[in-house]
Amino acid sequence: MSVFELYRDGHAKFRFRILDDDGAIVAVSEEHEDKASAIAAIRTVRDCAATSRVIDLCGAYPEDVAVGDGGYFLG
């Protein structure tokens, strides 16, 4: 099961990282001054991630497949 890990970085700021099912780091947050704002950011990511679209600002590549909603499936 993927998880959010909340931790303090080397500057004593709060961050979180998302780990996949195998424990590999998928994403790391920006710094947060306090734990409450880091937790609020986790909630925002959880609420938005499942329904978010990918917007590719890098330009189209031959291996990208256009999807019906105007975005791209990267794979």
pLDDT of 70 reads 58
Q: Dump pLDDT digits (tens) for 6-27.
A: 999 999 999 999 999 999 999 9
Give pTM, 2 decimals. Answer: 0.72
**Number of structural domains, the chain?**
1
Strands (E) located in the chain: 3-8, 14-19, 25-28, 65-66, 72-73
pLDDT of 51 reads 82
What CATH number corresponds to the domain at position 67? Answer: 3.30.160.160
Q: Dump pLDDT digits (tens) for 22-71.
A: 999 999 999 999 999 999 999 999 999 878 888 877 766 655 555 556 55
pLDDT surpassing 90 at residue 1: no
* Structural domain that includes position 16: 3-73
What count of residues does the chain have? 75
